[in-house]
Amino acid sequence: MTHTTPRGARGDGAALPAAPGIVGILGGMGPLATVDFMRKLLDATPAATDQEHIPVVVSSIPQVPDRTAAFRGEGESPLAAMIVSGRRLAAAGAGVVVVPCNTAHLWFDELEQALGLPMIHLVDAAIAEALALVPEGGKVGLLSTDATLASGLYLNRRPPQGRAVQWLLPTAGEMIDLIEPGIVAVKAGQLATAASLLAAAAARLKARGAGALVLGCTEIPLVLDAASAGLPVIDATAALARRAVEWAKRDSDPTGAR
């Protein structure tokens, strides 16, 4: 397999040839979620030695403008900063880019085009796992930022299997009183408070008939799991990690199988 300098790499002499199976993580949104995603990559990798783990490069730049504020028209777009961060990954030889931030996927298409590298869409990975958990006609609850919810990032995404998802959404009051404060608490390191708020939101969705719950914000899985939610959960970033590992294993296959 022949590898060339990745498209989108900086022309400053720092670019490295793309090597097989290198996953680029465009992180920093937020920093704790990026570290959590890296752990999920390790957990998703069947490896008995250091050398069997997948190669990864990370750009964790927390100064990317707030994605939710940008969506609301209340702040600067994060796209330019994400492109700069992503080009660091291209220059380091990444062959694919993943972004462990749900709301950042509102700029997914523009980012992928600017970087000139393939990217794996977090929402596609999460929806595929949700459909595998819930029978036909079953309801899937969604916990996310208000920007992710209002944008239709999940609701309007075409499921890869062609099967429609029956989404069950939080009420406006639940967003204001439980979910948004819970996410803010995670970012502030107030994890006990966040866990209490988000578990209460999960209980409301379960009571209305959710058969499973998509954790559609990178911070939420840090404090909420199936045990505390009281129903099966789909951790969107864990789903993304599994897809990234699959890509890395295929790309490093010496037979060239894809």
Q: What percent of the residues of the chain are helix, what percent strand, and what percent coil, each to the nearest 5? A: 45, 10, 40
Q: Are 218 and 102 in contact (CB under 8 A)?
A: yes
Kindly name the residue from 58, 217, 234, 240 that is annotated as catalytic.
217
Check 9, 101, 123, 248 and give the catalytic one. 101
Give the Cα separation of 23 and 21 in Å (integer): 6
Collapsing DSSP to helix, strand or coil, 23 comes out as strand
Distance (Å, rounded) from C-alpha 205 to C-alpha 187?
23
Peptide linkage before 30 cis (omega within 30 of 0): yes
101 is catalytic: yes
Residues with active-site annotation: 101, 217
